[in-house]
Chain A
Amino acid sequence: MRSARVRARLLVPGLLVVPLALGGCAAVNERNLATGAGEQYSGTLVGAGSSAQQAAMQGWTAGYASLQPEVTVNYDPVGSGGGREQFLAGGTDFAGSDAFLDEEELEQAERRCGPEGIFELPNYIAPIAVVYNVAGLDELNLSPGTLARIFDQQITRWDDPAIAADNPDVRLPDLAITPVNRSDESGTTENFVDYLFQAAGEVWPHEVDGNWPVPGGEAAQGNSGVVAAVGAGNGTIGYADLSQAGDLGVARVRVGDEYVAPTAEAAAAVVENSELIEGRGEQDFAIEVNRDTSGSGEYPIVLISYHIGCLSYDDPQTAELLRAFMTYVLSEEGQEAAALVAGSAPISDGLRDQALAAIDAVRAS
């Protein structure tokens, strides 16, 4: 429904707006914009942050440019930390971040945005795949505990009984396991470790952090570096964005009583069934992903990248542009564009309706 409205906007001739603009003052015009009547916007939006959602953002800016050629959206993939910092310092209009704001940052956000606070929308959901390269091993099932012990370097051979227990009918080779992790700090690592921490329980003794916590493994730069390293060795296993996995083997992960492969649907499903974090703002959709889910068809190793912005901007044009752009990002069309270029999972309809309500609350102060 929502995407139909976005498309309709294009078709409504600009003429309709003219009588309104002539007949009333700026306030009337603004109200009209808030309700999303047909309008061509112009101006520049500036954002910065997560490099994980860079490809998706390119899809969104390109898609949006075809709808609103006068609007320029500049997104600088400086990294989540840098993006949050720049946004909170007032340097950018919105931030892209693989993590929601912490307590301290929320206080800074109040100074940045005023008492109305902020919105945080989980606009980019990407499954993280467990990729492996073992000659002759076409399928691999892993339970969270086994996965954790492999990456903690406790299980060191592919024919370990623990792996055999997950793969009863498979001939496992007598081969050393080389776990591959990220050498740069990343949201992918943080989400993967968070999964191991929550789903594997006591088997995983390390803290959740964007830096890989276990020393001595094979380390490579970026998703592409991990995929290259896994592809280069025999007996390697690593974690990377599903869209980058290429022709490497992708492991299925045990959820409840079944083994689930990473897919866009399974990733969207786990986010849909996760809880919002309580006690934050009304338009704050910070999600505590339910990593130890046992729900059927849910894939719990996902990365959520948020868009973070103010609910109130000094500049009416910024508020207007942000509202329009985010509405596009959330639309089926926008989510499809991201899925096409970045392999992300489109958000569910339920989440979309809530997020659109949050976006509609963005005002000029």
Chain B
Amino acid sequence: MTSTSSSRPVLRRGDRVFAGTAKGAGILIMLILAGVTVFLVVEAAPALTAPAEDIPGGDGLASYIAPLLFGTLLAAVIALALATPLAVAIALFITQYAPRRLAQGLGYVVDLLAAIPSIVYGFWGVFWLAPKMVPFYRWLEDNLGFIPLFAGPTSATGRTMLTAGLVLAIMILPIISAIAREVFRQTPTLHREAALALGATRWEMIRMAVLPYGSSGVIGGAMLGLGRALGETMAIALVLSVSGGITFNLISSGNPSTIAANVALQFPESSGIDVNTLIASGLVLFVITFAVNMGARAIVNRRAEFSGAGS
């Protein structure tokens, strides 16, 4: 066994095939994204150029999509506001407080939440959560009704924006907590021990060492969750009672729909320009989701430099 040409780099067929497939996969994902963009723009074009009275509602594309966009953002923001603190708390408990065995089991259970289909969340929201929330909403209306968010009148079925936000919050909880868990776990032991050695309590240690280290990861996870919340369709279509325009009232029957849920509800009976209008609303959602992801990336990159966490 003598090697005749040891100077040349060894490039076996397997290497070449693997490099080629990896490159192909990378290019394919760009092509798919470009294809979706082109489809959305081309199909939305008739609605963008159509006269205002042809658009459903009769007041033009902007006033058709505006309440939908508002509803989409409102539901997602509620979900994010509820889910992020809870997810961080769960992640902290699992990584810092819980005994190892419990931590593992709890981690599995939270991850399992991500495996439940969204339509099941929808059913759960409609049949279980919504009716249970009605007394709470009544209480909010009676005691905090002066805040426009809880002005009422309270929905008799509980199928409100707040319920929809709650269901969404539970749906995005596993995404955020899984990422937060990973970054908290990677906090350098030296940082933690240094904090403890200086006489910090456990909470002070978390505040000084774990949270600053993990904050960029938490934000990244929250943005991933936001992406899911923005695009969630079936759960919202089932849970939310959509019969209103732009309103901050979270506990009444009249709520704005979300873009994705509206497409799901209206598409079956739509034809012609109505379909183009729905696709135009989808284009808006696409752009928003894209912007959210870009923004998240920018934040994560900037924070990474400050915190010294690096890559």
In the assembled complex, the CB of A218 is this many whole angstroms from the nearest CB of chain B, namely 4
In the assembled complex, the CB of A237 is this many whole angstroms from the nearest CB of chain B, namely 10
**CB-defined contacts of A228 to chain B, threshold 8 Å:** 126-127
- Contact present for A79 and B269 (CB under 8 Å): yes
- Contact present for A236 and B243 (CB under 8 Å): no
User: 0/1 per residue, B191-214, Cβ < 8 Å to A?
Assistant: 000000000000000000000000
Task: Give 16 A-B contacts (CB < 8 Å), ordered by A residue.
Answer: A80-B269, A84-B271, A183-B243, A184-B266, A185-B265, A186-B269, A210-B269, A218-B241, A218-B243, A221-B237, A221-B238, A225-B126, A229-B126, A232-B127, A236-B156, A236-B157
Within B213-238, which residues are at the interface with A (CB < 8 Å)?
A: 237-238
- Contact present for A176 and B243 (CB under 8 Å): no
Instruction: Report, as a range, how many residues of chain B touch the other chain.
Output: 20 to 34
- Contact present for B242 and A219 (CB under 8 Å): yes
**CB-defined contacts of B253 to chain A, threshold 8 Å:** 178, 216-219
Give CA–CA (A232, B257) in the complex, Å. 21
Tell whether B131 is near chain A: CB-to-CB under 8 Å: yes
Tell whether B14 is near chain A: CB-to-CB under 8 Å: no
Give CA–CA (A220, B242) in the complex, Å. 7
Within A212-271, which residues are at the interface with B (CB < 8 Å)?
A: 212, 214-221, 225, 228-229, 232-236
- Contact present for A218 and B244 (CB under 8 Å): no
In the assembled complex, the CB of B255 is this many whole angstroms from the nearest CB of chain A, namely 8
Most buried by B among A78, A229, A235: A229
Give CA–CA (A225, B242) in the complex, Å. 12
- Contact present for A218 and B157 (CB under 8 Å): yes
Give CA–CA (A78, B268) in the complex, Å. 6
Tell whether A85 is near chain B: CB-to-CB under 8 Å: yes
- Contact present for A217 and B254 (CB under 8 Å): yes
User: 0/1 per residue, A79-97, Cβ < 8 Å to B?
Assistant: 1111011000000000000
Give CA–CA (A84, B158) in the complex, Å. 37
Most buried by A among B130, B268, B269, B270: B269
- Contact present for A233 and B156 (CB under 8 Å): yes
- Contact present for A181 and B243 (CB under 8 Å): yes
Give CA–CA (A176, B253) in the complex, Å. 13
- Contact present for B243 and A233 (CB under 8 Å): no
**CB-defined contacts of A211 to chain B, threshold 8 Å:** 56
Q: A79-B268, A178-B155, A215-B254 are in contact. Are A183 and B242 (CB under 8 A)?
A: yes
Give CA–CA (A80, B241) in the complex, Å. 24
Give CA–CA (A183, B157) in the complex, Å. 15
Total contacting residues, chain A, CB less than 8 A: 36
Q: Which residue from B56, B238, B243, B245 sits with its C-beta under 8 Å from A225?
A: B238
Tell whether A51 is near chain B: CB-to-CB under 8 Å: yes
Q: Name B243's closest neighbour in chain A (CB-CB).
A: A219
Q: A186-B269, A218-B241 are in contact. Are A233 and B157 (CB under 8 A)?
A: yes
- Contact present for B157 and A176 (CB under 8 Å): no
Give CA–CA (A100, B282) in the complex, Å. 31
Q: Name A214's closest neighbour in chain B (CB-CB).
A: B243
**CB-defined contacts of A225 to chain B, threshold 8 Å:** 126, 238
**CB-defined contacts of B130 to chain A, threshold 8 Å:** 232
In the assembled complex, the CB of B279 is this many whole angstroms from the nearest CB of chain A, namely 15
Tell whether B272 is near chain A: CB-to-CB under 8 Å: yes
- Contact present for B159 and A229 (CB under 8 Å): yes
Q: Name B57's closest neighbour in chain A (CB-CB).
A: A211
Tell whether B46 is near chain A: CB-to-CB under 8 Å: no
- Contact present for B268 and A218 (CB under 8 Å): no
User: 0/1 per residue, B139-153, Cβ < 8 Å to A?
Assistant: 000000000000001
Q: Which residue from B153, B158, B243, B270 sits with its C-beta under 8 Å from A81?
A: B270
**CB-defined contacts of A234 to chain B, threshold 8 Å:** 156
- Contact present for A219 and B270 (CB under 8 Å): no
